[in-house]
Structure 1
């Protein structure tokens, strides 16, 4: 006879996700600050050694540093998103979820980065639509007329809807990725 497992109460899920969100926020802020500090120190150190004789080398080093920075931050974001999914699925939040996420993503970083790239491009495009509309309505049309309030409200509601659809898709893909990582871990 099989018993049906009861889902955990909503408060337990919310509490675990909240604790994990606090830890992931701290981790992202720390990763950003550390990465920018290391880039700043490296550029200043190389500048004092007078290694850069031309602006081409400065541009090349800055570009390489920027690419490394964004790949590192993207990796931290993926780990944090996976930790949030883990804490919601297993109702164990906090720093332990971040450590479990690091272990789960260990050999699947390329897949996680490609999933995150699609989602982040979509979110960036929605933000660009919002700022394009905002700039067009506020600055370009400000000399002729004020934008109509109902139109602004409708556009903002549409953008909020699009943003929430993309966030929902991100959550679904993260859950599917979590299940594939979990099944992959059981096979090995």
Structure 2
């Protein structure tokens, strides 16, 4: 049976309505996640210039794997990976505390059973799932690199050495890597919001998210696009208004710090909205699966049979076998 998903625009509108309806609590959640958003925004420009050592090591790793220096994609990828890894390690204490506390607060608020379980239970399940998500994302990246390594060496063994080949391979690798990474992030986000409804969280929620996402990938990506564009816009605003002003020295440090705090709080609000969007998407997936299950039960448990006896009779197959109704 084909999965009929709710329109992404309806889920997004419902998410924004939920966010505005609970704005006073959403601002509380944003205040909780503010240290994480501030650390993340500060780490990105800082590690853009100070991750050269890790960048050099990743370049060496790619060269050792057999990738040519003419592949611009892997040169750019090694730079972005070094910055991402450095930033992730720097913000890890904030991710495991403030970020997950905020998610637990928002999910407990949106859940129908938020009065029955303590927030600490939600946090522990989110923590287990977050750690498993980290290994899952590392595995997704490793699988993508293994695929590129295999494809590059096979094609090179057939005599593809031209500059046009390197350009085409870089473009195709960038597209495939983006698809793999986008799906991995969607599954990770869905696993996080679904972990609170499981018994303990962890790798089982990732498997559950993989099953839920089947046939709904386009919807999940369409929902992830607006919030990620908003987060990217806030990051660009922080670089332009705070980082640029700090290095140019055209404003005093107090005004830069105040504006940076405001931008970090705006980033935190987008993180809260992203949690709401993912949670409502998860609820929509579960409701859709439950509706399909009921439809299948109705389809196969109730069958009409015409009993050919002296008089034509109609029977219904129920729990006690065929029962005559006419």
Same-fold call, TM > 0.5?
A: yes
Moved more, 121-130 or 174-183: 121-130
Which of 169, 192, 199 is matched with 1:61 structurally?
Answer: 169
Matched residue SS, 1:107: coil
Provide the rounded CA distance (Å) in 2 between the counterparts of 1:91 and 1:148.
52
Question: 1:34: which partner in 2?
Answer: 143
Match of 1:158 in 2: 262
- Stretch of structure 1 that moved more, 6-15 or 100-109: 6-15
Aligned residues: 180
Query: Which whole-Å CA distance do the structure 1 matches of 2:288 and 2:185 have between them?
Result: 22
Q: Which residue of 2 aligns with 1:103?
A: 211
Q: Is the 8 A contact 2:125 2:202 kept in 1?
A: yes
Q: For the residues of structure 2 that align with 1:175 and 1:17, how far apart are their CA atoms?
A: 13
Q: Secondary structure at the match of 1:51?
A: coil
Q: Which structure 2 residues correspond to residues 8-23 of structure 1 after superposition, within 5 A?
A: 8-23=117-132
1:134, distance to aligned residue in structure 2 (A): 4.2
What residue ranges of structure 1 are gaps of 5+ in the alignment? none
Higher strand share: 2
Matches within 5 A, 1:1-188: 6-53=115-162, 55-90=163-198, 92-139=200-247, 141=248, 145=249, 147-188=251-292
TM-score by length of 2: 0.51
- TM-score norm. by structure 1 comes to 0.86
Deviation at 1:26, TM superposition (A): 0.8
Larger Rg: 2
RMSD: 2.0
Contact 2:129 2:201 in 1 (8 A): yes
Superposition deviation, residue 91 in structure 1? 5.2
Moved over 6 A (4+): none
- Tell me by how many angstroms 1:56 deviates: 2.5
